Structure 1
Amino acid sequence: MKALAIEQPGEARIVEIAVPEPGPGEVAIDPAFVGYCGSDLTSYRGLNPLVSYPRVPGHEIAGTVSALGQGVAGLAVGDVVTVLPYFNCGHCRACRAGRPNACVNNQTMGVQREGAMTSRIVVPAEKVLAVPGLALRDVALVEPCAVGFHAARRAEVQAGETVVVLGCGMIGLGAMMGCLRRGAQVIAVDLSPGKLDVARRLGATHALESDADLAKRIEELVPGGPDVVIEAVGAVSTFLAAVDLVGQCGRVVYIGYAKDAVAFDTKRFITKEIDIRGSRNALRSDFNDVVTWLRDNPEAGGHIVSATVPLEEAPGKLAEWDARPGDFTKILVSLEPAA
């Protein structure tokens, strides 16, 4: 069967791989749509230290069950499903604490292990989540939105609070929607007018272009500063801005990875008495929350998806995304057979 493989930095092409069969406790899934994640772009650029080449990318999955291994219950052939693509060890401190998303030995599909950008995948049944009543295209948005929803959970966002979300890429938009679901007001911040427009259409209370006057404009909107700042960019400047912008006794949650070391003025940690938290991957409960949100907001997917291409065009679209990253919020690769 055909698959997309990133063979080395800057080189992606369609290859042939073997068709897998489910063993006991496993489920075969035929992907219909798989989203490109920022980690896939990083792998393509040769900047992902967790990836070895060649690698089949893809962990934002929408598909249907095509076969069940022995002993699998609760699923049926033809079910519309997504996948929790994080594989944890079950033994480390995080796993024992019921937080497998932060497993020290985590392996994510498309990163440390082969992904879903192909015609069939096989995964353990416990990683499969049935998603009835949601369009297949939107099922592919569940995982990236769940990463943002998990950040809102980590921030313990409460109804009536004000949250600043730095970055309106897919993960930042997921964080924004997670905060809206919790009843917060959201100030979305980005450099791209197009992405800010998407944030507005998804319900952002305010959408601000990042510039030298950002702190002043946020202070005018929220005297004393926001209750929460969620950083979804992964840049030194936004790591620092999150601490500067948050109000006294507020919470800062980081989703992005800053590629370079960050030198903080630690006095602000103490004088503001702020909480600083990390957020990694997502839990099944976050997936369930996203499914509910997307069912209640069926227009969301149309705002988020920038482009959908067949598998044959996926290498070219990845190169295009690399060249013009600001032009796209979410690219989906369609693996459905041509009509």
Structure 2
Amino acid sequence: MKALEITKPGAARLVDRPEPTPAPGELLLRIHTVGYCGTDLSTYRGRNPLVAYPRIPGHEVAAVVEGLGEGVSDWTVGEQLLVFPYTECGVCSSCLAGRPNCCKNNQTLGVQRDGVLAEFATIPAGKAMRAAGLGPRELALVEPLTVGAHAVARGQVTAGETVAVFGCGAIGLGAIAAASYLGARVVAIDVDDAKLDLAAACGAAERLHSIRDDLGARLNELTEGHGPAVVIEAVGLPATFRAAVDLVAFAGRVVYIGYAKEPVAYETKWFVMKELDIRGSRNALARDFEQVIAMLAAGRVPTERIVTQDVSLADAPTALANWDRAPGDVTKIHVQLRK
């Protein structure tokens, strides 16, 4: 079979790999659609410390059951599915606390182990998820949207609250859609007008351009001087890390999804004076997947607009290189392996 391999930083190519055979308890999948993730771009750039080369990327998946391993009885050949791409150890403090999404020993498809950007793949049957009524495009968008939805859950967002989201890429759009779905008033913040328009289509009530607008003044206007109850940071820059703390309301919550690639210096008095809850957000839980599936089924996310480009497997290496050269032009790339 053909697979895409990131051979080393700056180099991606198609390779031949043996077609896998499902072990007991596994499903053999024929892969339909795989979305490129920001982690794949980091791997291509050589900036992902969790990756060893060569690596097959891919964990945003729409697939069809092609075969059943011994002992699998609750799936049938031909069913469509998506993949829960995280593997937890079950024994670390995170797993024991019921938060396997941040497992100390987590392995995510396409990151710590090979992913599924190939014509066929095998997965444990327990990692496959049904999503009735969703097509391949929606199935492949569930996982990136759940990362934003999990951040909303971490922020304990409730109806009527004002939530500011820094960054309107695929992850930020998931946070915007999830917060809006819960009844919050969402303020989207970005430097790109087109992405701000897309954020509005995902449920943002207000849009702020972080270069043209005075963020502090505008957020105060929108919140009667209080600031947003929750700020979600989905950019990963020191400036936005600091801005989240500066702009959030007293007694507010700050949630970080991205992580800055360098140390961040804070005015720490705000941590204490505002009595802030500052929380990280990593991956997602099964219930976040269920919420996003419901959002997509309800038509709450403009999936056709989120996907910037569809490419074939043959063109996938070039698409990755082009994304590296012009990252601002891309919200989401889908690799189509089966028409």
Name the TM-score, length of structure 1 as normaliser. Answer: 0.97
Partner of 1:45: 45
Greater shift, 314-323 or 299-308, is seen at: 299-308
How far is 1:298 from its partner?
6.3
Greater shift, 227-236 or 212-221, is seen at: 212-221
**Pick aligned residue for 2:313 from 311, 314, 322:** 311
Which one-letter code corresponds to 2:206 in the other structure? H
Partner SS, residue 261 of structure 2 = coil
Partner SS, residue 73 of structure 1 = coil
Q: Distance in 1 between matches of 2:103 and 2:301?
A: 34
Q: Distance in 1 between matches of 2:301 and 2:111?
A: 30
How far is 1:74 from its partner?
2.1
Partner SS, residue 72 of structure 1 = coil
How far is 1:73 from its partner?
2.9
Which one-letter code corresponds to 2:220 in the other structure? E
Q: Distance in 1 between matches of 2:231 and 2:319?
A: 32
**Pick aligned residue for 2:332 from 314, 317, 330:** 330
Q: Distance in 2 between matches of 1:13 and 1:168?
A: 30
Partner of 1:253: 255
How far is 1:51 from its partner?
0.7
Q: Distance in 2 between matches of 1:144 and 1:194?
A: 20
Q: Distance in 1 between matches of 2:322 and 2:32?
A: 22
| CA deviations over 1:61-94 (Å, ceiling 9, x no partner) | 0111111111123221111111111111111111
Does the C-alpha gap of structure 1 residues 16 and 148 become closer, same or farther in structure 2, counting only changes over 3 Å? same
Runs of 5+ unmatched residues, structure 1: none
Partner of 1:125: 125
Q: Distance in 1 between matches of 2:330 and 2:198?
A: 11
Q: Distance in 1 between matches of 2:30 and 2:300?
A: 24
Partner of 1:219: 220
Partner of 2:94: 94
Q: What is the Cα-based RMSD across aligned positions, in Å? A: 1.0
Q: Distance in 2 between matches of 1:132 and 1:37?
A: 24
* 1:17 is the counterpart of 2:14: no
Which one-letter code corresponds to 1:86 in the other structure? Y
Any runs of at least 4 consecutive aligned residues in structure 1 with deviations exceeding 3 A, and if so which?
A: none
Partner of 2:244: 242
Runs of 5+ unmatched residues, structure 2: none
How far is 1:25 from its partner?
0.7
Identity of aligned residues (%): 53
CA contact (8 A) 1:27 1:69 kept: yes
Does the C-alpha gap of structure 1 residues 219 and 198 become closer, same or farther in structure 2, counting only changes over 3 Å? same
Which one-letter code corresponds to 2:132 in the other structure? P
CA contact (8 A) 1:147 1:171 kept: yes
How far is 1:31 from its partner?
1.3
Does the C-alpha gap of structure 1 residues 188 and 286 become closer, same or farther in structure 2, counting only changes over 3 Å? same
How far is 1:299 from its partner?
5.8
Which one-letter code corresponds to 2:290 in the other structure? N
Q: Distance in 1 between matches of 2:111 and 2:286?
A: 20
CA contact (8 A) 1:169 1:329 kept: yes
Partner of 2:293: 291
Partner SS, residue 63 of structure 2 = strand
Which one-letter code corresponds to 1:227 in the other structure? A
Q: Distance in 2 between matches of 1:82 and 1:62?
A: 5
Name the TM-score, length of structure 2 as normaliser. Answer: 0.97
Alignment of 1:1-339 (within 5 A): 1-211=1-211, 213-222=214-223, 223-297=225-299, 300-337=302-339
Q: Distance in 2 between matches of 1:332 and 1:164?
A: 28
Q: Distance in 2 between matches of 1:299 and 1:205?
A: 14
CA contact (8 A) 2:309 2:333 kept: yes
